[in-house]
Amino acid sequence: MYGADPLLPKAIADAGRGFVLAVPSNHTVATAAGPRPVVELAIRPDLTWNRLPAGHGVKRPRLFDWALIEVPDPALPCPTTLSRASAPPAGTPRC
């Protein structure tokens, strides 16, 4: 689900539902250090990335790298951001 509308996460949380929203890389989230674009959170060197398939492609599995990033937000019941990045070619580490 695309989630650029700032009211959408709260509305879903108020309904008691879990959710994952797709947002652009320049979307900002509240952090202890102030608002930050999600792309800044996703390039932290301390993140653990996991390569997982997201379905079958025509020639091979569609692989993406995933990381969970804790973002404290008192308005939401689950203060975590799930980051997805296209997997680099086989044998290439994520920098």
Q: Where are the domains of the chain?
A: 8-86
What is the pLDDT at residue 55? 81
Beta bridge partners of 71: none
**CB burial of residue 60 (10 Å; 0-12, 13-18, 19+):** exposed
Q: How would you write the pLDDT of the chain (95 residues) with one tens digit per residue?
A: 456 677 887 788 788 877 777 778 788 877 778 888 888 878 888 888 888 888 888 887 888 888 877 776 666 656 666 677 776 666 665 55
Which sign does the torsion angle of CA 49, 52, 55, 61 carry? positive
Q: How far apart are CA 37 and CA 18, in angstroms?
A: 22
- Euclidean distance between CA atoms 75 and 87, whole angstroms: 32
